[in-house]
Amino acid sequence: MEIMMSILIGFLFMAAVYLILSRSLIRIIIGTGLLSHGTHLLLLTMGGLGGKSAPVLADGVTDYADPLPQALILTAIVIAFGVTAFSLVLAYRTYKEVGTDNMELMKGSEDND
């Protein structure tokens, strides 16, 4: 299972990097979204996927899933959400101010670099 997940995560990373390298601001933000999905799944996978039960204490259960990666992912999800929301609004404002969403056009000019 972990090997299959690793390959799936690699695929998510590939798609994310491909989107991040494109010209359109929107595609870049979508790319970061996919990148965080990939990262969260990677964290989970590396913790091991063999747990039989959710990490909530229950009578008679001994084989819990590893709780630590889950706590880490929970933190990461919230932070990724904060950053995504911020960059979305930033993209929106950029488009309003600059008038383009083409990253190749957003360069420093000779005067202000």
Of residues 24 through 83, those in contact with other proteins by CB under 8 A are: 24-27, 29-30, 33-34, 37-38, 40-42, 44-58, 64-68, 70-71, 73-75, 77-79, 81-83
Provide the minimum distance between the beta carbon of 111 and other proteins in the complex, in angstroms, as a whole number.
11
* Tokens coding 94: 């950029």
* Tokens coding 26: 């929107």
The DSSP bridge partners found for residue 102 are 24
Q: Which is nearer to other proteins, 60 or 97 (CB)?
A: 97
Give the whole-angstrom CA distance, residue 19 versus residue 11.
12
Q: Give the number of residues in contact with other proteins, rule: CB under 8 A.
A: 87
Q: What is the DSSP letter of 105?
A: G
Q: Which is nearer to other proteins, 52 or 60 (CB)?
A: 52
Give the whole-angstrom CA distance, residue 73 versus residue 81.
12
111 is a site residue for other proteins (CB under 8 A): no
Q: What is the DSSP letter of 59?
A: T
Provide the minimum distance between the beta carbon of 52 and other proteins in the complex, in angstroms, as a whole number.
7
